[in-house]
Amino acid sequence: MDHDGAFLYIDRDELERAQQRVLAPAWRAAADALRSSAERVLAQDRDMPGFDSAWYDADPDRDFGQTYVLFHDTMRPATRLMSDAHTLLIAGQVFQEDRYLDTAKAWALHVAAHGRFHVQHHDAGMSYAGMADPLAEIYCVLFDRFSAEEQAQLRAALIACGEAIRTNSRHWAANLARMPYNNHLACHARGLLVLGLALDRSEWIDPILDGPKGFGPLMVGATYDDGLCYESSTGYHFATLHFLMRVAELVRHRPDLGRDLYRETFANGRTLKHMFDAPLRLLLPNGELPALGDCYAVRAPLWQRSATVYELAYAVYGDPHYAWLIRQGDERASLSALLYGADDLSPSEPVACRSRLWVEHGYGLIACPDAEPTVAAVLTGDRSGVHNHRDTLSLQIFAGGRLWTEDAESRAVAAHSFSDPIQQTFNRTTLAHNLVVVDEQDQRGIRTPLQVTQFVTLPSCHTVEMADDSGRLYPGVRMQRSAAITPDYCLDVYQIASEADHTYDWLVHPRADGPVTCDLAFGETSLPDRAPYALLRNVQAATAPKEGIALTWDQETDRFRIDVSAGMEGRLFRALWPVAGDWSEGGRELLMYRVRADRSDFVSIGQVITDDAPWRIASAERVFNGAHDEIRVSVSKGSEVREHVFAGI
């Protein structure tokens, strides 16, 4: 290609518009954010990366699973340097300041001179692809500022980077074939395409656009249901989407390719827009996506965590739902807004929280449309993917504008979150979720989602039910969970049955500002001295009467209450789990209601406390109807009584 000073991701019109915007009061927040980022980068006292790979060179065949920390310690200084160089490149062009551009140039030359791109690892392709963007754009934008020798040096580095990505893609195909559509491969595609465009190498470009493992097949294979990423994690959806979006952006900025990956339709009618739309259908009214699978303790509203994604999506599609999402956030200060954002975010249309199923994922959302504010619950029966947790039949409850029960995650403190020990010792364990643990053991993984046995949406009551009727999660133990939402409460019936006695622990992880209130006499006790229980602190227990227990907790001025009973005497444990994996940020509470029996029916009702009397469980009984068992639950408030009936196991 002609190196005429053009970006690969920004066309001349977009750059000129950004240069005008940074002078306009309406875009002051975005201008200040870019300027601050550039100045912060320049002010850092840093050593240039040395690319010390002695650990790898001594044993290149060492198990990659054991070298995450070594690999990222080697690569992180370089990837951060190049990310910062990219910031300086864009700021230098937008503000037209040579001091930014000169530094970006110098850093790129350092990497070109010292980086060998030979270290391999599961994450190597992703790391090299992350370096490819800034290296390629610096090479193209500042081409005339480099000497002929420097141009050749940079070109050699780009080629080496591309070959390293291709090598890593082959590693994935040979050794990680069970994950043929993993987000890493979308990242590889992005990296190889940007390098191919910078170097004008059709043999790297064409496979991404039209190959059997290119953009279309990757997107189709990586999505289930209405477009959610298949990796059993709501957080990782945006990893895959980000990489595919970057591929589409590269193509959008090369009209000579004659393609529009934003609008092309691929197998099964899939389009990239489905991936932008899909999270909105799972969105809770406060803007959170339910934390399912690896989310690394990120709980921010979508309009904060993914504003850059939807700024670009709105610029491309003009979808009023995207405009609404952007408008929910603070000032439009992202680089994406500055470069691509529309001046006018209208029309906009709110995203509605509505009941639905995701059959391929095994997710069920129920939301009562007549409640104001919305009452909703999310039940999961997901298959076990690479980023899944042992969370099958976990329930999260939303009411009064807040999420009250959430699947817990400690924030990873290691630089590489995926391999942080807290992931295995707590976050991915069954103990970290709102469900029933059997005999203090993790659930087994499952290859297909649990069966949805009921999904009913009536005007005043929405119900979802999932069942494990063959002991897939725990051998010899059958389970079924039924959740019903009304405008006033969430009713939850969790049935467990076996031929032998087991210890059943019903768990809840309150999102609370402080300790949970419970009118029982607690004393110190202990739990097993092994993961995940050994991680817990301040373990206490109390006798739980047959009639059940009441738990209340606060968020700011609001209060939530859960009443739960198993119909038999048990014990209630309370303990702290770490907010951060090293306990540096204190702990939050989990509650565990334990009984021992062959069969148990945990029946609970959760609701926001108002000035009115709360709803109570008046009765819960198992009845044989002539064909099979039913669980019949009566709830009451004063003289008002409501009946709920669920199939028994």
Q: What is the pLDDT of residues 223-241, one digit of tens each?
A: 999 999 999 999 999 999 9
- Give the end of a domain, one of 210, 239, 257: 210
Task: Identify whether 500 is part of a domain.
Answer: yes
- If pLDDT is split at 50, 70 and 90, which confidence band does 415 have? confident
Read off the pLDDT of residues 439-469 as tens digits, 9 standing for 90 and up: 999 999 999 999 999 999 999 999 999 999 9
Task: Identify whether 13 is part of a domain.
Answer: yes
- If pLDDT is split at 50, 70 and 90, which confidence band does 108 have? very high
Q: State the SS3 of 80-136.
A: HHHHHHHHHHHHHHHHCCHHHHHHHHHHHHHHHHHCCCCCCCCCHHHHHHHHHHHHH
Mean pLDDT, rounded, of the chain: 96
Q: What is the pLDDT of residue 385?
A: 78
- Give the end of a domain, one of 210, 228, 245: 210
Task: Identify whether 550 is part of a domain.
Answer: yes
Report, in this order, helix, strand and coil percent for the chain, each rounded to 5.
35, 25, 40
Read off the pLDDT of residues 548-571 as tens digits, 9 standing for 90 and up: 999 999 999 999 999 999 999 999
> Are the beta carbons of 121 and 67 closer than 8 angstroms?
yes
- The end-to-end CA distance of the chain, in Å, is 67
- The number of folded domains in the chain is 2
Q: What is the pLDDT of residue 100?
A: 98
Q: What is the pLDDT of residue 5?
A: 79
Structure tokens at 498: 């076996």
CA nearest neighbour of 204 among 153, 150, 165:
165
Q: What is the pLDDT of residue 436?
A: 98
> Are the beta carbons of 488 and 423 closer than 8 angstroms?
no
Range of the domain at 514: 356-612
- Give the end of a domain, one of 179, 210, 241: 210
Indicate whether 4 pLDDT > 90: no
Q: How far apart, in whole angstroms, are the C-alpha atoms of residue 573 and residue 578?
A: 16
CA 236 to chain centre: 5
Task: Identify whether 240 is part of a domain.
Answer: no
CATH number, residue 142: 1.50.10.100
Q: Which of 41-55, 331-345, 364-378, 617-631 has the lowest mean pLDDT?
A: 364-378
| Residue 372 amino acid letter | E
Task: Identify whether 422 is part of a domain.
Answer: yes
Task: Identify whether 154 is part of a domain.
Answer: yes
Read off the pLDDT of residues 110-162 as tens digits, 9 standing for 90 and up: 999 999 999 999 999 999 999 999 999 999 999 999 999 999 999 999 999 99
Read off the pLDDT of residues 349-402 as tens digits, 9 standing for 90 and up: 999 999 999 999 999 999 986 667 789 999 999 888 789 999 999 999 999 999
Read off the pLDDT of residues 275-331 as tens digits, 9 standing for 90 and up: 999 999 999 999 999 999 999 999 999 999 999 999 999 999 999 999 999 999 989
Q: How far apart, in whole angstroms, are the C-alpha atoms of residue 526 and residue 575?
A: 10
Q: What is the pLDDT of residue 1?
A: 58
Task: Identify whether 124 is part of a domain.
Answer: yes
Task: Identify whether 617 is part of a domain.
Answer: no
CATH number, residue 580: 2.70.98.70
> At residue 214, what are phi and psi to the nearest 5 degrees?
-85, -160
